[in-house]
Chain A
Amino acid sequence: SQKIEQNSEALNIQEGKTATLTCNYTNYSPAYLQWYRQDPGRGPVFLLLIRENEKEKRKERLKVTFDTTLKQSLFHITASQPADSATYLCALLYSSASKIIFGSGTRLSIRP
């Protein structure tokens, strides 16, 4: 069965630095890879989607890369701020209108 690993359960970063989160998966590559943010007691909020034929996607201070050879996605937050502190979830989607498989998440803390 397909597995996703977000290899840092928690990450502490100094404000202003770039936070880099990693998502690795096994077996075959998904059609889409997504990143979500989840705050405590809230539902996930969609951040970025990257397709299997795309290598990089950016949105403001966020950048996502997708390497199907390494079977890995990296999620970067540049100029990090304490407000970026949250749990970030990687999710794989294998075809349109199919179910999402979520990673266990990385809890990011940005200290002032």
Chain B
Amino acid sequence: GAVVSQHPSWVICKSGTSVKIECRSLDFQATTMFWYRQFPKQSLMLMATSNEGSKATYEQGVEKDKFLINHASLTLSTLTVTSAHPEDSSFYICSAQGDQGETQYFGPGTRLLVL
């Protein structure tokens, strides 16, 4: 149980284009989903928290207009990196939390490379 998937697992795009990453909770309803970014040999940095049906809460320093988050259902959240630049290249990981709220279950991550 508690499986979270992400799609795509990796993506290469040209600078200036937008990229959408999907995060799905496969066998439970996720009242809250989180988006993280991880640079090589560094820990996970929380970007934003989203609750189903409401606007995401962004961490300080994360541009909400650049990283668009939609949490339209209890099993799906999407992160869109708009007008991507090479410095946006990173490993993006989502997690989902059920209504018990104690544990976050992580997706396998999406590696983004912007050329």
Does A61 sit at the interface, judged by CB under 8 A? no
B105 contacts A46, CB within 8 Å?
Answer: yes
B102 contacts A105, CB within 8 Å?
Answer: no
B43 contacts A97, CB within 8 Å?
Answer: no
B44 contacts A41, CB within 8 Å?
Answer: no
B103 contacts A34, CB within 8 Å?
Answer: yes
Number of chain A residues close to chain B: CB under 8 A: 20
Number of chain B residues close to chain A: CB under 8 A: 26
Best-surrounded residue of B31, B43, B102 (most CB of chain A within 10 A): B43
Task: Give chain B residues whose Cβ lies under 8 Å from the Cβ of A36.
Answer: 106
Does B77 sit at the interface, judged by CB under 8 A? no
Interface positions, chain A 83-103, Cβ under 8 Å from B, are 89, 93, 96-97, 99-100, 102-103
Partner of B104, one of A41, A100, A105: A100
A49-B103 Cα distance, complex, nearest whole Å: 8
Task: Give chain A residues whose Cβ lies under 8 Å from the Cβ of B111.
Answer: 41
Task: Give chain B residues whose Cβ lies under 8 Å from the Cβ of A89.
Answer: 43-44
Does A44 sit at the interface, judged by CB under 8 A? yes
Q: A43-B108, A97-B32 are known; give 16 further A-B pairs, CB within 8 A.
A: A34-B103, A36-B106, A44-B93, A45-B106, A46-B104, A46-B105, A46-B106, A49-B102, A89-B44, A96-B100, A96-B102, A97-B31, A97-B101, A100-B34, A100-B46, A104-B43
